[in-house]
């Protein structure tokens, strides 16, 4: 259950990163080295876990939690605010979705 997970503290996180492995208990909680994030150590409660496609059961479970949904909402809100700062006049909104502005 998501609410029962133990969050990894900074000391243990850096230790696991250095060792390149997590304990069985940590793995069962969702901690793993994610291929999507260039083998970065991620787990439930990390922003990167929102965009993890490793299909780890605990990550997939966590993505459905209120915590993950709120985190995603905040990231979207912050992204929109950042985009508004970078493009206050809305000039980038007219670019094609693929990023190319070349006519053939």
- Residue 50: exposed, middle, or buried by beta-carbon count in 10 A (0-12, 13-18, 19+)? middle
Q: Would the CA dihedral through 6, 12, 14, 16 be positive or negative?
A: negative
- Residue 45: exposed, middle, or buried by beta-carbon count in 10 A (0-12, 13-18, 19+)? middle
More confident residue, 33 or 86: 33
If pLDDT is split at 50, 70 and 90, which confidence band does 97 have?
low
- Given a cut of 90, is residue 102 above it in pLDDT? no
pLDDT in tens, 49-61: 999 999 999 999 9
Measured CA to CA, the distance from residue 44 to residue 6 in angstroms comes to 9
pLDDT in tens, 5-17: 557 889 999 999 9
Query: Burial code of 61-79, b = ≥16 C-beta within 10 A, e = fewer?
Result: ebbeeeebeebeeeeeeee
- On whether the CB atoms of residues 52 and 42 are closer than 8 A, the answer is yes
Of 6-15, 16-25, 32-41, 76-85, least confident by mean pLDDT is 76-85
């Amino acid at each position: 259950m998501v609410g029962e997970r133990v969050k990894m503290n900074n000391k243990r996180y850096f230790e696991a990163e250095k060792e390149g492995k997590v304990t069985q208990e940590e793995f069962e909680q969702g901690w793993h080295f994610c291929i999507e994030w260039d083998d970065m150590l991620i787990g439930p409660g990390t922003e990167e876990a929102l965009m993890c496609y490793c299909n780890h059961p605990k990550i997939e479970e966590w993505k459905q939690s209120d915590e993950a949904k709120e985190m995603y909402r905040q990231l979207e809100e912050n992204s929109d605010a950042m985009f508004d700062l970078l493009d206050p006049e809305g000039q980038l909104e007219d670019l094609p979705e693929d990023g190319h502005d070349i006519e053939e």
